[in-house]
Structure 1
């Protein structure tokens, strides 16, 4: 799975894209996005939707956010 680069978008677009995708996420599916920084405001919203998340460093100062639904 190749994460989608959202670093070129203006806030709150990346958060809206991720939340929309989380609403449609199927059990066992994993999605990923490259972000310019750690999306702290987004995390409680994902938790409230019972979405698991993890991060990796992108190697260029950003982060890669992966979400899934168990």
Structure 2
């Protein structure tokens, strides 16, 4: 599984990296996105466009999002 680690990056770089990974996803594929904070605009976009997403806050405080293409 692909992991996109965007922790420590300044906006809009985490969003841009997520968009690049989304553009490469084929139907049925998924990737994990790691961030320093909750990406509310990205989550709204994923919901709007029908992408599966599952958010988990790790023990170290990182936000881990599993994103899948239907």
Q: What displacement does 1:58 show?
A: 2.2
Matched ranges for 1:1-70 at <5 A: 1=1, 3-70=3-70
Secondary structure of 1:16's match? helix
Instruction: Check whether the contact 1:22–1:51 (CA below 8 A) recurs between aligned residues.
Output: no
Q: What displacement does 1:2 show?
A: 5.8
The size of the alignment, in residue pairs, is 70
User: Which runs of no fewer than 5 residues in structure 1 stay unpaired?
Assistant: none
Secondary structure of 1:37's match? coil
Instruction: Check whether the contact 2:4–2:17 (CA below 8 A) recurs between aligned residues.
Output: no
Q: Distance in 2 between matches of 1:21 and 1:34?
A: 12
| TM score, norm. by length of structure 2 | 0.82
- Cα RMSD of the aligned pairs, angstroms, is 1.6
Q: Distance in 2 between matches of 1:63 and 1:2?
A: 16
Q: Distance in 1 between matches of 2:24 and 2:3?
A: 17
Which 4+ residue blocks in structure 1 deviate beyond 6 angstroms? Answer: none
User: Which runs of no fewer than 5 residues in structure 2 stay unpaired?
Assistant: none
